[in-house]
Structure 1
Amino acid sequence: MYPFLSVLLLGSTALAATIDLPLRKRAVCGPGIGSCAPGLCCSQAGWCGTSPAHCGGSSCQLEYSDSCDTVIPPPGSSTEDVARDQIGSVPYGVRIRQCTEPKTLALTFDDGPYDYTSEMLDLLDDLDVKATFFVQGSRINRPRFDDESTQWPAVLRRMHDAGHHIASHTWTHRNLNQVDSDIQRSEIIHNEMAFRNVFGWIPTYFRAPFLECSVASGCQGLMNALGYHLIDASIDTKDYENNTPALAQIAKDRFLTGILQDPAEGGGHIVLAHDVHQQTVTNLTEFMVGTSLAHGYRLVTVGECLGDPKENWYRDVDGGSTTPTSATTTTTTSSSGPEPTSTFIISPDQTCGGATGYTCQGSAFGNCCSFYGYCGSSPSYCGTGCDNAFGSCLPQSPGISDTTNGLCGEAFQASCANYGDKKCCSPHGYCGNSATHCGVGCQSLFGECN
C-alpha cells in the first residue's frame, strides 16, 4: 500500500471516531482568556453566570470574577472589631492535633450543615454522644447557613441546644494557603458574621479546609491575631473518599488503625469526618462510637478534650468587657460565702470558687467567677449565677431579672422570657425550646411553657 493511502485511511478512521462525540464550546473566562463581565462569576469550568454553580463555594474563580460568594458577606456589620482576648490554657494560632485529656476522643464533622446533618444529630442523641461540628458558611449547593428562610439556622440551633461544640470552617472552603491575606481574612470574618446572625456569638475554634494553614502563608499568624484555636486531627477517616457501602469499610479501617495507636504524651484522639456524606451518618459514626467505648475512650467535644471550659468556646460579639469598673464591687443578692479578700489566692488557671478556693479578683482571665467555676469578664461569667464570694459580679436588681447566660429559675431568680428563642425554663434551671425545657416541670414563672 502506498504511504499516502495509509495516512488517508488513518485520518478517516480518526474522523469517524469523533462523529458521535458531543460538541463542546470553548471556555469564555479563566487563565489565558480573561474575566467575566461585572456581576458575573467565572465557574471552575470557565463559564460566566450567576447561578450557584458559577458563584458558589470555592470553585468560583476569584481572579476572573467580581461576584464570587467568597467576597459577598452575610447581612450585618463586620465582626472585625470584636475584642479577642486570649484566655484559658489552650494555645492560639498553632496546630492542635490531639486531645490533652487522657483517654478522651473527640469526633469532629466538617462542611455542614447539609442534607444529612439532622440525621446525624438524631444518631448522636440516640448514642448519647456529644461531638464537634466545624461549620462552613456557604456551599455551592447550599445557601448561607444564616438564611432564616431556610432550614439551616434551626438545624444549627438544635445542634447547639443539644450540647455539641460548634466551630468555624471558613465561609466558602477556600484553601487558605493558596489565597492572599484579604481572602484569608474574609473567609474567617464572613463566617463569623453568619454565626453572629444566628447565635449572637462567634466561635474561638477553627479548622482549615483541607487542613491547610501554614506559617509561611500567614494563615497561622491570622489565626493568632483573630484569637482562634487551630484544630487538626490525629485520625483522618478519609470518609469523603469512601462514601459508598462497599468503600465505607476503608474509612472504618482507617479509624481502627488510628485508635489502636496510643496518642503521644498520654492524651486522646481528634477524629476527622464529615456530616455531609451519607455513609458517615448511616454506617461509620456508630462504628466509631462503639469501637471507642470498647477501647476505653471517653467521647467528648474538642473543647472538653483539651480541658477548655465551655465559656471559652464562644465570644460575645460586642467584645466589650462587662467587668464592673470597681475592682471591689460585689452584688448583694447572695449571702453565701465570704466577701472577696486579699486572703484568697488569685486563680492561676481560670478555675475559681469553693472547689478550688481561687478568686478571680485581679486574675488574668477576668474578675468574675461564673456559676460553673471559671473566671471571665463577659455576661456569661459576671451575670446570672455569678459567685460574688470569689470575684466581682454585675449588680442585680431585686426580683426576677433576665438571664445573661441561659441559667434560670427560682434558684437564680432569672427568666428566659427575653433569651432569644430559648424562652422555656426547664425543671433543672436551663433555658431552651425543646420538649424537655417547655414540657412537664417547666418553670412558668421564669419563662414560657407549653
Structure 2
Amino acid sequence: MCAYISVTRLSLAAFWSISAYAAAYVPRQPAARSSVSGSTALSRRAASPNANFTKPFVVDDFPVTEDGRCGATFGTRCWSDECCSAEGWCGSGFLYCSAPACQYEYGPACDANARPDGEDTEEWPRPQFGEVPYGKAIYHCKVPGTVALTFDDGPWEYTEELLNLLDDHGVKATFFVTGRNLGKGAINDETKDWPRLIRRMKDEGHQIASHTWSHQRLPTLTKARLRQQMIFNEIAIADIIGVFPTYMRPPYSASNEDVNEWLGELGYHVTYFDLDTEGYLHDDDEAIEESKEIVRTRFDNADPDTDSFLHIEHDTVAHTVSTLISYTISQLFDAGFTPVTVGECLGDPYEFWYRSQDAGFLKRAVEVGQDVVRTNYSFYEEAPLTPVKPRSFFDRLFFSEPKPQSGSGSHPFAANGSLSVNGSLSANGTLPGGGNSTKTYKPTKDGRCGPAFGEASCMNQKYENCCSKAGWCGSTDAHCLDGCQDGYGRCGLFG
C-alpha cells in the first residue's frame, strides 16, 4: 500500500498503484538491442560460467543469460555488472537497476543487492520484551483517543518539509524508512541528505521504524532474502543513529504466516493500519480533496473516549505533505484526538522501540522500572531482573522530561542544567555526571557534540542526550559510559 514518486518532481503515484514493480516503465527492447547479445554472452560464459558473478549477501543459483533476457519469466540471471529490469532485460541505469522494480535475484548489480556500509547487526541481541506482540499483524492502536500518524517509503525530497510541518504543529509521528529505493542511494550515505534527516527525526522525538531495505514484496521472497531485506536496513539505520527499530511495516502491506513468523524471529512488531486516506492515489490539487473527505468522514464519526486510529501516509507524495497532513492534524485535534507515535498508541515504552548492540536500551528500561520478559540471551544472566510497575502510557504521552534530581548526575534539564530562552544551554554548577562549569553550551543541531564541534551539547535532546567520545549524541552504552564527554550531555546509565 505504498506509493512512489519519480526522481523528477512529476507525480507517478497512479503509475505505481497500477504496477508495484514498475514494469511499464522499463522499455521492452528487441533482442538485437539487448545490452548482452547472444554471441557475446555465449563467449563470456564459455570462458568462465560464473567468472563475473559477484556474490551478494544471498546467492541465487540461476544460470547466466545467453540472450540478454532475465528474471522469473526466463529463469536466468545477468552478469555481475548488469541489472535485470522488471520486463526481464539485462542492462544498466536507473530504469534497470533501481529498487523495487529491478529483479534483484536475477540482476547482481541491482541496487538492492548492495550491502550498506556499517557494522553487521545479525548477531545483535533480539530479546522480546513488553506487551506488544512480535511476529503478529497489528492493525489497531490500544489507547483510546490517540492517532498514530505514520509515513512510509522515505526519506525523500519532501521529508524535510514534512518534519518542519510536524514541528510547527508540535506533533510526533512514526517514519517507516526504506533503505534504498527509487534510485536515492543508501540512506546512510553521508554524501547525501538522508542521514541528517533520519537523525533529525530521532532527535525531534519521532519514532523510526523499518520498511525493509529495498521495498520488495515479502511473500515472494525466500527466508534468506527476507532476512537480507531486514538486516541490510538494520545496518544502515544503526550506522546513522546507533540503534535499529523493533517495529516494521511490510511493503505493499503484503505478508503471510511465514513472513510474520520470520519477522518475529528477528524481533519485529509487524505494523499495519486502520486509517488509509489514499493520499498516494490522489496526488494533485483536485484529487487530494478525496483524501481530505476520507479524513473528515472518519473523524466526524469517531469518539475519542473509545476510538483510536493507526494511520498511513507516504512522505514520497507531494500533495500528502503540502496539503493533506495539515488538514488531517487539524481534523484530529478538532475531534478531540491526540497525535502520537505507533509505540505510544500501543502503550509500548520508548526504551522498547529500538535495539542496540549491547542491549543498552533494554538495560535502561530496567533502570526506569519497565516490565521485561526474560529470555535466554546472555545479557539476562548478568544480573537478576525484577519486574516492577511500568510508567503509565499517559505519563509518557504528556511526558517531556523526568523531574529534576538533585546532586551529582542530575538530569540535564534540572535547574542547574537548563535550556535558556535564547536557545543556549547554561550549565551553572553541577553538570550531568558530575563536575562544575559556568560555560554556555550550544544545543546540537546535527547530532554532533563536544569541543570538536563548537562546544555543542546533547542536553537539548529528549532521549539521545549522552555525548560519546567520538562526538555523537546517543543513548547506548557506547555513548553514555566509556569515554562519554562529561558536560556535553549526561553520562552514566541514567545521568
TM-score after normalising by structure 1: 0.70
Q: 2:488 aligns with which of 426, 447, 450?
A: 447
Task: Name the aligned partner's letter for residue 77 of structure 2.
Answer: S
Task: Name the aligned partner's letter for residue 457 of structure 2.
Answer: C
Per-residue Cα deviation, 1:402-430 (whole angstroms, up to 9, x for no partner): 99xxx976363269999962441447987
Q: 1:223 aligns with which of 263, 269, 272?
A: 263
Answer whether contact 1:235 1:269 (CA < 8 A) is retained: yes
Larger Rg: 1
In structure 2, distance between residues paired with 1:428 and 1:78: 27
Per-residue Cα deviation, 1:120-167 (whole angstroms, up to 9, x for no partner): 001111111111110000013211110011111011111111111110
Q: Structure 2: any 5+ residue segments left out of the alignment?
A: 1-26, 35-67, 374-382, 397-401, 418-426, 436-440, 450-455, 468-472, 474-484, 490-495
User: The residue matched to 1:167 in structure 2 has which SS?
Assistant: strand
Question: Is 2:162 aligned against 1:120?
Answer: yes
Question: Is 2:255 aligned against 1:213?
Answer: yes
Answer whether contact 1:202 1:317 (CA < 8 A) is retained: no
Instruction: Give the structure 1 partner of residue 448 of structure 2.
Output: 421
Question: Is 2:82 aligned against 1:55?
Answer: no
In structure 1, distance between residues paired with 2:408 and 2:319: 52
- Aligned-residue offset at 1:50: 3.4
Return closer, same or farther for 1:296/1:309 CA change in 2, 3 Å cut-off. same
Instruction: Give the structure 1 partner of residue 232 of structure 2.
Output: 190
Task: Name the aligned partner's letter for residue 256 of structure 1.
Answer: R
User: The residue matched to 2:239 in structure 1 has which SS?
Assistant: helix
- Aligned-residue offset at 1:36: 1.8
Per-residue Cα deviation, 1:64-90 (whole angstroms, up to 9, x for no partner): 222322222111332111111111111
User: The residue matched to 1:65 in structure 2 has which SS?
Assistant: coil
Instruction: Give the structure 2 partner of residue 298 of structure 1.
Output: 338
Q: 1:245 aligns with which of 269, 282, 285?
A: 285
CA-based RMSD of the aligned residues comes to 4.2
Aligned length in residues: 364
User: The residue matched to 1:307 in structure 2 has which SS?
Assistant: coil
User: The residue matched to 1:172 in structure 2 has which SS?
Assistant: coil
Identity of aligned residues (%): 33
Q: 1:412 aligns with which of 426, 429, 432?
A: 432
Return closer, same or farther for 1:303/1:48 CA change in 2, 3 Å cut-off. same
Residues 240-279 of structure 1: pairs in structure 2 closer than 5 A: 240-260=280-300, 262=302, 266-279=306-319
- Aligned-residue offset at 1:264: 12
Task: Name the aligned partner's letter for residue 296 of structure 1.
Answer: G
In structure 2, distance between residues paired with 1:209 and 1:244: 23
Residues 386-401 of structure 1: pairs in structure 2 closer than 5 A: none
Instruction: Give the structure 1 partner of residue 113 of structure 2.
Output: 71
- Aligned-residue offset at 1:62: 2.9
Answer whether contact 1:234 1:269 (CA < 8 A) is retained: yes
TM-score after normalising by structure 2: 0.64
Return closer, same or farther for 1:425/1:197 CA change in 2, 3 Å cut-off. closer
- Aligned-residue offset at 1:40: 1.0
Instruction: Give the structure 2 partner of residue 316 of structure 1.
Output: 356
Question: Is 2:317 aligned against 1:284?
Answer: no
Return closer, same or farther for 1:179/1:260 CA change in 2, 3 Å cut-off. farther
Question: Is 2:193 aligned against 1:151?
Answer: yes
Per-residue Cα deviation, 1:198-238 (whole angstroms, up to 9, x for no partner): 011011110110111210xx210112111111110001122
Question: Is 2:79 aligned against 1:37?
Answer: yes
Answer whether contact 1:323 1:366 (CA < 8 A) is retained: no
When structure 1 is superposed on structure 2, of 185-194 and 231-240 the one drifting more is 231-240
User: The residue matched to 1:177 in structure 2 has which SS?
Assistant: helix
In structure 2, distance between residues paired with 1:212 and 1:182: 17
When structure 1 is superposed on structure 2, of 158-167 and 28-37 the one drifting more is 28-37
When structure 1 is superposed on structure 2, of 263-272 and 93-102 the one drifting more is 263-272
In structure 2, distance between residues paired with 1:132 and 1:107: 6
Task: Name the aligned partner's letter for residue 421 of structure 1.
Answer: R
In structure 2, distance between residues paired with 1:78 and 1:244: 42
Return closer, same or farther for 1:146/1:185 CA change in 2, 3 Å cut-off. same
Instruction: Give the structure 2 partner of residue 343 of structure 1.
Output: none
In structure 2, distance between residues paired with 1:291 and 1:161: 27
Return closer, same or farther for 1:72/1:203 CA change in 2, 3 Å cut-off. same
Per-residue Cα deviation, 1:167-206 (whole angstroms, up to 9, x for no partner): 0000000010111111111110000000111011011110
Answer whether contact 2:410 2:431 (CA < 8 A) is retained: no
In structure 2, distance between residues paired with 1:81 and 1:238: 38
